[in-house]
Amino acid sequence: MPTPQTQQNDKNMVYELGNLALMSDALESETGQNGLNRALQIISVLQTTLDSDALIEIFSQEISVMIPHQSILYEHQTQGIRIEAGTPAKHSCSYQLSAAGQSLGQLIITRKKKFNLQETMLFEHLLCSLVYPLRNALLYRGALTAALQDPLTGANNRAAMNSAVVREIELSRRHNTPLSLIALDIDLFKQINDEYGHTAGDYILKAVVERISECIRSSDMLFRYGGEEFTILLSNTDKDGAMLLAERIRSAIYTSSYRYGDELIPTSASLGVACFNSEDTAKTLFERADMAMYDAKNSGRNCVKFTATN
């Protein structure tokens, strides 16, 4: 059962997965048949989605009649989830959710008026309607992430890139905004594998992803296209911005030290940039970025090139 902890007149507690039958009995005794019917309706509505963002917003809307509040915040640090709705207010109830020892994140509701004991008890019962759908949504989100993520480097994978480029091209066309793509290939990577071993090669791949991630914005999308080749998709970015970022990435990779065991492994990358035009498809945009990258390799490696047209 939850153990309350008082913090600045707010409620902060760990909430373990509850028993829905016990919840029903408690709600009926505390709020009557109307309260129980409302809770059962909430359970039914929450089971209609596996989208964690939608789930939290639906839960907030559904409980607002029984427990008025100004805002709701849900965070799950492991999965990098932060969902906010409404305007935060002075008083809050905070809950660390878990099920069978598995953390489901933290849920906080706030409002201007302090929550009374009856409301917090009611909220605790209503949380029973959320934890099952939330656990399922987190499992679903985790499965989707795994399917679209390169397991070695943590970058998005080629399947994720294919769908992202199509989506961003459509947005660029609709809003008439610039879109750029950078193709990046680690120079002489086969030689690194041959000389230092494949585990050293894996280390270089992960280190290069770290350098790229330190350079790009949160809105930029990094993908491992295959082997030692990566792409960075830059929404709302023109040629000048893309070339500037590509040079920053090139410099960061080249000037970093890569020590594996007792060996210091020299590493650089060749980068190609292409910008979306009205005639482009996902295929042609990538082909032009790839062509520019091979131009960089043919020009001595460790440089950035741009290709305007096929």
Question: Does residue 48 fall inside a structural domain?
Answer: yes
Tokens 């062509």 correspond to: 291
Give the number of domains in the chain.
2
Q: Is residue 153, in this structure, part of any structural domain at all?
A: no
Catalytic residue flag (residue 228):
yes
Residue 12 domain flag: yes
Distance CA 75, CA 96 (A): 10
Q: CATH number for the domain including 45?
A: 3.30.450
Do 162 and 302 belong together in one domain?
Answer: yes
Asked if 96 and 173 sit in the same domain, the reply is no
> How many Cβ atoms are within 10 Å of 203's Cβ, its own excluded?
18
Q: Which two tokens stand for residue 251?
A: 């410099």
pLDDT of the chain along its 310 residues, tens only? 333 333 344 555 444 444 455 455 545 455 555 655 666 777 778 888 999 999 999 999 988 988 999 999 999 988 889 999 999 999 999 899 988 788 899 999 999 999 998 888 888 878 888 888 999 999 998 888 788 899 999 999 999 999 999 999 999 999 999 999 999 999 999 999 999 999 999 999 999 999 999 999 999 999 999 999 999 999 999 999 999 999 999 999 999 999 999 999 999 999 999 999 989 999 999 999 999 999 999 999 999 999 877 5
Query: Which of 195, 228, 229, 247 is the catalytic position?
Result: 228
From the number of C-beta atoms within 10 Å of its C-beta (0-12, 13-18, 19+), residue 263 rates as: exposed
Q: Identify the CATH number of the domain in which residue 289 sits.
A: 3.30.70.270
Q: Are residues 297 and 237 in the same domain?
A: yes
Phi, psi (rounded to 5 degrees) for 8: 55, 45
> Angle of helix 117-147 relative to helix 20-46, nearest 10 degrees?
60
Residue ending a domain, choose from 101, 124, 147:
147
Full domain range(s) for residue 219: 158-306
Q: Which of 204, 193, 194 is nearest to 267 (CA)?
A: 204
235 lies in the same domain as 190: yes
- Please indicate, yes or no, whether residues 98 and 229 belong to a single structural domain of this protein: no
Q: Quick check: 204 and 158 in contact, CB under 8 A?
A: no
DSSP code per residue over 254-299: HHS--EETTEE----EEEEEEE--TT--HHHHHHHHHHHHHHHHHT
Which residues on adjacent β-strands are paired with residue 186?
A: 269
